[in-house]
Structure 1
Amino acid sequence: MSFNFAYLSGGRLYLKLGQANVQTIISEFGQAVQQRESQQQQRNGWKQKSVANLMPAGMGQDRQPDRSKVAVQGVCPTSADRLLYTLAAGEVGGIFTLEQFAPMVNIGGTAAPVARPQTKEKRLFHSADFKVDRVDFHPEYQLIACAAIGKDGTANIATMPVNAVHLSQVTEGDSLDLAPKWIPGFRRAIVFQSAGIGRDGAGYIIEQKHSTIEQLDIDRQEVITLASDPKYDLLSPQMTADGTLYYIRRPYSSLRQRARFSQLLKDALSIPARLCTAVFEWLNFFTRRHTGKSLLSLPQLPQQTNSQQMLFLGRLVDVGSEMERNRRFGDADSPSLVPRSWELIEQFPHREPKVIGSGVLAFDIGAEGQIVYSNGSAVYGIIPGGVAQRLIIDRPIEQVVLLDLDNHLN
């Protein structure tokens, strides 16, 4: 059995259709935003240089955020030859469709790609008021569900008919409601992950509770908790037509615990460097006072950092350390980028959760029970009753979704 799927890596969208090579999808809207930003920077470049020349040496050398960066945040199929995806381009977030991405015909009983007009990108919605994250599509009701992330740090689930131009929020509150997924069937119901947040007196977020799995029945306007464990974050839920729940489970740690551990680790690692710097500066001061020259005459270069930390599912992960630690598990050339305690869980109704994968960052479930999942370095596929087979290697892989191309087979 061949797998057809799309995946996100480094904010870019890729397609893998059967045995064909991986395709890279480029957003025309995103390219236009980058081009306008680049032209504006060129026009204003002389101003930035003038200001930099007035600053003392060493000031203004910090890397500025790249406002023109374009990143695909979420993707899902809507039909056999149409994709729906969300895009963050500079200060703007939007929802787009891509048509004619997977032309297929039946040649001698085998599906094969054929020539077809170039893919078409269509913008359904965009806004500078909030960013749009993961997205899903309900084929019967032609409804889009997504997570709308506001500038105040909250995230709510929103829906929109595919032919509309405005999102309607269906959850509210000071929380992070993310990763919506329609429940298969003819009712309008969504599963999603939710975590409450706490703020200080100035309104800054200082705490985040563990993530739970919620079910929203839009018609009944009812939200119920499907799974919760204060020891774990339960993330990226999906439910099949028979009520089986799948999700990623990872150990929970509060923001304060993470901040304390991160600062402690940073301080411990910097002790030798601080001691060496103190000794050198004392010797350098003594030398300059008596000889008028510094110990080193090399020009001072801006510091460069080579951080291996990456943000996955709202958590900073030291991917270098995790890769080295996980090489002895599975494929040595595609080790997991996240801890093995990030587990893929299968939970049948009225049964205990069952672990079906470790070191899992993203996954998707097909209508026939097939599974694709990623450990961040590769994508693996499992057919019902089978074992995992590696499909592609890439990194970092942030999301993977199955594509149903049956409608292309004549």
Structure 2
Amino acid sequence: MSFNFAYLSGGRLYLKLGAATAQAIASEFGRAAQQRGLELQRRNGWKQKNLSASLMPNGISGDVQQQDRLRVETAAGIVPVAVQGVCPTGADRLLYTLAAGEVGGIFTLERFVPVNISGGSPAEQHQQAKEKRLFHSADFKVDRVDFHPDYQLIACATIGKDGTANIATMPVNAVQLEQVTEGDSIDLAPKWIPGFRRAIVFQSAGIGRDSMGAIVEQKHSTIEQLDIDRQEVITLASDPKYDLLSPQMTADGTLYYIRRPYRSLQQRMSLSQLIKEAILSPARLLRAICEWLNLFTRSHTGKSLIPLPPLAHSHAQQMVFLGRAIDVGTQIERNRRFGDADSPALVPRSWELIEQYPHREPKTIGRGVLAFDVGANGQIIYSNGSAVYGVLPGGVAQRLVVDRPISQVVILDRDNHLN
């Protein structure tokens, strides 16, 4: 079984082409944004240097001051860059969204040809690839993206600074997004419905605010269908007990989505959670104080006050997947006995991949699923956060790549893709 696909892991974009090793794709725009941030920090570095010197005890060598300056340049000056969503637009072209600090944008990666077609090396192909910026803005972030080949239209989710998210569209040759949904809601994960009409499926959740305008509640996510030409929105699937996420629809009307138990923002912590927090709070406070003292001492003497274990070794590790905070360490231990022991799911097994034929009951076809994509010929790729698996119609799942944390997967074979 051979799949060409792309996936996102830790905010980076990777291409996996057949049996070749997965290759990371770096954004020139993101790299330039980081370089500008570093240069700005260097220009203002004299302020930090003078402040450090004024606080430095007598007799401390200049090496420590140099280390402190480098630490400022490499840490504070780096702009965080993360790919938020990706989709194919042709055999040698990718479309993706990128967040670089406060700026979000839509980009294409052009002239990329899979290894098994061109025969060239990955390094040669990456040299041929060209990044092109279609749109960027500091007013909102751009999340998941999809492309309609017949109308040459881009659909994406825009996340505003007030916490709302809306669906927007844009022709590939335009320079401005047009909002097609509105209201105090969180509309995400748009996917074009195959065919010759302009229609989108997406997930939507209403939100509630307090008197100060802060979000205090989020309703369960439903699956909506937007017909742009008719300006009509209808609900395709809804269940108050579940969030229904990342929908896709095939040409025959079959609906695929992730279903997970709904949890209200107002839900109270259980008694065990309260006890756990009460026990851990003093220890966390003490650790924070020790780490601050240790950082201060290292900054001015070059030596550690006390040896502290690295934070990465902590058992508890919180990550946010599809808007939900997950204790990854706990889930790994719980899921290790299911499936591949070296690539356990990062999310609960109650996160299910659902297949729903028209006028039939939903059917669970996978558990512990975080992301997926469906091909026109019925092939499916999905991820549990630790690995990507591929399934052909009537076949069994085969692991294609191991990585973590994987947040999105998309099939790259345009001839076999839903669109």
- Which bracket does the TM-score occupy, shorter chain normalised? 0.7 to 0.9
Does residue 344 of structure 2 align to residue 335 of structure 1?
Answer: yes
Q: CA RMSD in A?
A: 2.9
**Distance change in 2, residues 1:371/1:275 (3 Å):** closer
For the residues of structure 1 that align with 2:76 and 2:276, how far apart are their CA atoms?
Answer: 23
Letter in 1 for 2:227: D
Tell me, in whole angstroms, the C-alpha distance in 2 between the residues paired with 1:4 and 1:103: 8
| Structural mapping, 1:54-133, within 5 Å | 68-103=79-114, 112-113=119-120, 118-133=128-143
Rounded to whole Å, the distance in 2 between the matches of 1:273 and 1:209 is 35
2: distance between equivalents of 1:231 and 1:312?
19
Distance 1:53 1:47, change over 3 A: same
Structure 2 residue aligned with 1:372: 381
Q: Quote how far apart the aligned CAs of 1:264 are.
A: 2.2
Tell me if 1:140 matches 2:150: yes
Kindly indicate whether the alpha-carbon contact (under 8 Å) linking 1:67 and 1:90 is maintained by their aligned counterparts in 2.
no
TM alignment of 1:276-295, pairs within 5 A: none
- Counterpart-to-counterpart distance in 2, 1:382 and 1:328: 21
Q: Deviations over 1:208-252 (max 9, x none)?
A: 111000000000000000000111000000000000000000001
Q: Deviations over 1:62-121 (max 9, x none)?
A: xx9887111000000000110000000111000000012224576xxxx84465561000
Instruction: State the shift of 1:21 in Å.
Output: 1.4
1:319 counterpart letter in structure 2: V
Deviation at 1:48, TM superposition (A): 3.8
Q: Give the superposition deviation at 1:323.
A: 0.5
AA matched with 1:181: K
Pick closer, same or farther for the CA change 1:96–1:387 going to 2, 3 Å.
same
Cross-structure match for 1:11: 11
Counterpart secondary structure, 2:266: helix
Task: Report the CA distance shift for 1:265/1:160 in structure 2 as closer, same or farther (over 3 A).
Answer: farther
Q: Which residue of 2 aligns with 1:20?
A: 20
Matched, 1:202 2:215: no
Would you say 1:357 and 2:353 are equivalent positions? Answer: no
Q: Distance in 1 between matches of 2:182 and 2:285?
A: 50
State the shift of 1:22 in Å. 1.0
Find the aligned partners of 1:66 and 1:403 in 2 and give their Cα distance.
35
- Structure 2 residue matching 1:360: 3-state secondary structure: coil
Structure 1 residues 244 and 113: alpha-carbon distance in aligned structure 2, compared to 1, 3 A threshold? farther
Aligned to 1:213: 223
Question: Whole-Å Cα distance in 1 between the matches of residues 220 and 353 of structure 2?
Answer: 17
Contact 1:134 1:179 in 2 (8 A): yes
1:391 and 2:397 matched: no
| Other-structure match for 1:288 | none
Shift in alpha-carbon separation, 1:128–1:145, aligned structure 2, 3 A: same
Stretches of structure 1 lacking an aligned partner (at least 5 in a row): 56-63, 278-297
SS at match of 2:104: strand
Of residues 297, 300, 305 in structure 2, which corresponds to 1:299?
A: 305
Distance across 2 between alignment mates of 1:270 and 1:105: 53
How far residue 269 of structure 1 moved from its aligned partner, in angstroms, is: 3.4
Tell me, yes or no, if structure 1 residue 38 matches structure 2 residue 4: no
Matched, 1:252 2:258: no
Corresponding residue number in structure 2 for 1:225: 235
Cα drift, residue 268 of structure 1: 3.4
SS of equivalent to 1:36? helix
Q: Which amino acid in 2 is paired with 1:150?
A: G
TM-score if structure 1 supplies the norm length?
0.85
Separation in 1, partners of 2:371, 2:231: 29
**Aligned AA for 1:182?**
W
Over 3 Å counting, the alpha-carbon distance change for 1:358 and 1:42 in structure 2 is same
Q: For residue 340 of structure 1, what is the amino acid of its counterpart?
A: R
2:267 aligns to what SS in structure 1?
Answer: helix
Quote how far apart the aligned CAs of 1:51 are.
5.8
In structure 2, do the counterparts of structure 1 residues 9 and 271 end up closer, same or farther at CA, with 3 Å as the change threshold? Answer: closer
Query: What CA distance in whole angstroms lies between the structure 2 residues aligned with 1:101 and 1:261?
Result: 54
Report whether the alignment pairs 1:402 with 2:408.
no
Offset at 1:45? 2.4
Residues 354/72 of structure 1: CA separation in 2 closer, same or farther (3 Å cut): same
Distance 1:159 1:262 in 2: 46
Q: Deviations over 1:237-289 (max 9, x none)?
A: 00000000000000011112267789726523326749999xxxxxxxxxxxx
Q: Which one has a larger percent helix, Structure 1 or Structure 2?
A: 2
1:284 is aligned to none
Q: Which deviations, in whole Å up to 9, do the C-alpha atoms of 1:293-337 show, x marking residues without a partner?
A: xxxxx9378997445110100000011110011010000000000
- AA at the equivalent of 2:367: S
